[in-house]
Chains A and B, each alone.
Chain A
Amino acid sequence: MTDVEAHHDQLQEPIRRNRPGTKSSEWCNWPPQSFEEMDSTVLVQQYIQQLIKTETFNIDLILEPPEGQDEGVWKYEHLRQFCMELNGLAVRLQEECNPETCTQMTATEQWIFLCAAHKTPKECPAIDYTRHTLDGAACLLNSSKYFPSRNSIKESSVQKLGSVCRRVYRIFSHAYFHHRPIFDEFENETALCKRFSTYVLKYGLMSNDNLIVPILEDLGESEA
């Protein structure tokens, strides 16, 4: 992009809007912008969403920050996007995962996960755990106390991302071990668990031992 003036020209630059009446096939259907061209206060989110829309399964590309991008903000915006997309999995789980059949949040037999949304963590049924964890993450990640700005994030707040990751990951693992058809269908459309697993390893937010959904095996073998 050498012609800086060109993108300021309203006549040449398409207006990127989803106006009322837009067909679902036309949603966000505009030419991609380079990161340098974006100038909004939520440009990192815009950039990540653009990559996901155009290159859904190219996980390494989606997780590759633009040059000079602050890493805390990059990790933060990706986690927001994961939590948002996890709503899609939660909606599908609501259809099938009920308190009678999934009385606790489990994946393998090894652990029962306690729901941290309560003053005293408790054994919520899996669907409640799922909803509470996503709701709690939405409150934390939008908290003006911990994340007052989306352009610079205190190190102490960046530290909080790891525990959010560990909790929301259990939604993937529960779906994988207890609602496999739902998991597979969702994963085939979004590659979200694979992207999430790659993300937490790349940024050291979770250890490999905790990633109990064997989604990165292909990746591991090819790298080995």
Chain B
Amino acid sequence: MEEEEALAEFDFLVSEQGGDDGRTDGDGSEWTKHTDWPLDKQKLSMQIEQYKKERIRKHDNAQRPRKTDLQAMIATLGAEEDDVADTEDRGDSPKASNEMMMRFPPGSSMERHLDSSALGLGDLADITVSNDETDSLTLSFDLNAADNNARKTWNAKYTLRSHFDGVRALVFHPVEPVLLTASEDHTMKLWNLQKTVPTKKATALDVEPVYTFRAHQGPVLCVAMSATGEECYSGGMDSTIRCWNLPSSNIDPYDSYDSSILQDTLVAHTDAVWGIAIHSTRVQLLSCSADSTVRLWTPGQQKLALNNTFLPPTEGDGVPTCIDFLANDSNRMMVAYSSGNCYVFDLSTGQHVVKFDSPAPDTNPRINKILSHPTLPVAISAHEDRSIKFYDTTNGELMHSMVAHLDAVTSLAIDPNGLYLLSGSHDNSIRLWSMESKTCVQEITSHRKKLDESVFDVAFHPSKPYIASAGADGVAKVLV
């Protein structure tokens, strides 16, 4: 019961969207009961100032969020659930030593949360917080408390089957309960979690896709979605990047073919495109390919155009395997290479400015996924040798390394607040980690093997309590 209420906290994000039909549960009415949410006025106004500075919104949602919603959003961040349940502490997940502990600047999670939700945040600054009842209370960012009490146990709820082969990648919509999957079956599919089909089991729901994207000739390997949720991008074995308009999540799956959904095709790479990253605030796209290049795409006349090409800094680097923008320095990106080498590049000069500490030579250090922490200058990498490593992106120092799975780690995702890390592995499992203690707080067996591959990707919903995994078994799963 407690858990259900806690989950309902996220519902306002949908109800404020308008245009979303059939959503009445957990609407704002829930919140009128809770006028006593702890709220620190000063902190909030600081956040708002901060947000104003960083604000670059493509389009303004005309609807202004109610004050109760804003409070709810704040409260969500410090929410504590009584339901600790049976989280599974694994014996083989090493604890972090104390000096490896990360410090989270108070409120850092807040910025991210505001920034990543596509509510009518343009109007956020207009809200005057004058709730007298909250003055004496403080907003709690006590991470120890969060770690001990707010630990949520995730359970598989939605099964997404419709792909004929392995699902290589998936990405959530920024606000809607919608996700996109990319598969080796040459297609991508759009799923609306509100459109389920009944199954025998009451606890699990099957979802059928609302749209199938066809344009790639061959496996689709990576996807990204714009911060507005209006466009998405895919890279494939056919060396192309496709730019798509995202159809409405309420589209009839058997509607007429609309050729304008495929907006554009970016051709420059000459081999498989394995990674795409999209800038959180600018219209900028990074892609990495087996042709050994990383390319930066920026708006040209109407369409995205090739802006720059980055080659491996040294001969032994190999091919790029994954890329990401640095969240705390929007003019930088990091690239991991098949050798295990990893660099931070300055996007304007095109030069690499930081090299990460080299991995031990006696293992297979290949990096399958690199991820920027949402607020801190920290990079997290997933390795073929079963480890997850943490680097300081300002100087490349290895901060922490841990054997995280029983087989290669393939994928990583971090929650919008930067408190929990999710990893996927060819050992069939996904694992949730506390970023603070670096311990595994839950392990879930999620996929079955095809050949020697299992979990390909994991994701956190940017604004709702969903996580997801995609696997070689052709299935994607969403957990709540």
Residue ranges of A at the interface with B (Cβ–Cβ < 8 Å): 15-24, 27, 40-42, 45-46, 80-81, 83-84, 87-88, 90-92, 94, 98-99, 115, 117-118, 124-125, 127-128, 131-132, 134-136, 138-139, 141-145
Contact = CB atoms under 8 A, between A and B. Distances in A.
A131 B451 contact: no
A24 B239 contact: yes
A144 B206 contact: yes
Contacts of B451: 16-17, 40, 46
A89 to B, nearest CB: 10
A176 to B, nearest CB: 20
B397 interface: no
The 4 closest A-B pairs by CB, nearest first: A84-B164, A16-B451, A142-B161, A21-B321
B322 A88 contact: no
A90 B214 contact: yes
B185 interface: yes
A81 B275 CA distance: 26
B259 A21 contact: no
Contacts of B238: 24
Contact of A21 (B164, B219, B254, B319): B319
A88 B184 CA distance: 12
B239 A139 contact: no
A207 B290 CA distance: 46
A139 B162 contact: yes
A21 B186 contact: no
A118 B450 CA distance: 34
A41 B451 CA distance: 10
Given A17-B408, A40-B448, A143-B206, 14 more contacts: A17-B426, A17-B453, A20-B368, A21-B274, A21-B288, A21-B318, A21-B319, A22-B274, A23-B271, A42-B473, A94-B214, A131-B214, A134-B212, A139-B209
B257 A84 contact: no
A141 B208 CA distance: 12
A144 B187 contact: no
B216 interface: yes
A100 to B, nearest CB: 12
Contacts of A134: 212
A16 B452 contact: yes
B273 to A, nearest CB: 10
Q: Which of B164, B199, B257, B338 has the most CB of A within 10 A?
A: B164
Contacts of A99: 256-257
B368 A24 contact: no
Interface string B266-299: 0000011011000000000000101000000000
Given A17-B451, A21-B321, A40-B450, A88 B217 contact: yes
A29 to B, nearest CB: 12
Given A40-B450, A91-B186, A84 B165 contact: yes
B400 interface: no
Interface of B: 159, 161-165, 185-187, 199, 206, 208-209, 212, 214-219, 221, 237-239, 253-254, 256-257, 259, 271-272, 274-275, 288, 290, 318-322, 337-338, 366, 368-369, 384, 408, 426, 448-453, 473-474
A223 B321 CA distance: 51
A45 B257 contact: no
A90 B259 CA distance: 13
A124 B217 CA distance: 24
B161 A144 contact: yes
A42 B450 contact: yes
A91 B451 CA distance: 28
Given A24-B218, A24-B271, A135-B254, A84 B159 contact: no
Nearest to B199: A144
Given A20-B275, A40-B448, A138 B212 contact: yes
A21 B320 contact: yes
Contacts of B288: 21
B452 A42 contact: no
B450 A135 contact: no
A27 B237 contact: yes
A127 B212 CA distance: 13
B449 A132 contact: no
Q: Which of A46, A124, A135 has the most CB of B within 10 A?
A: A135
B164 A80 contact: yes
A142 B474 CA distance: 10
Nearest to B165: A84
A124 B254 CA distance: 10
A94 B253 CA distance: 17
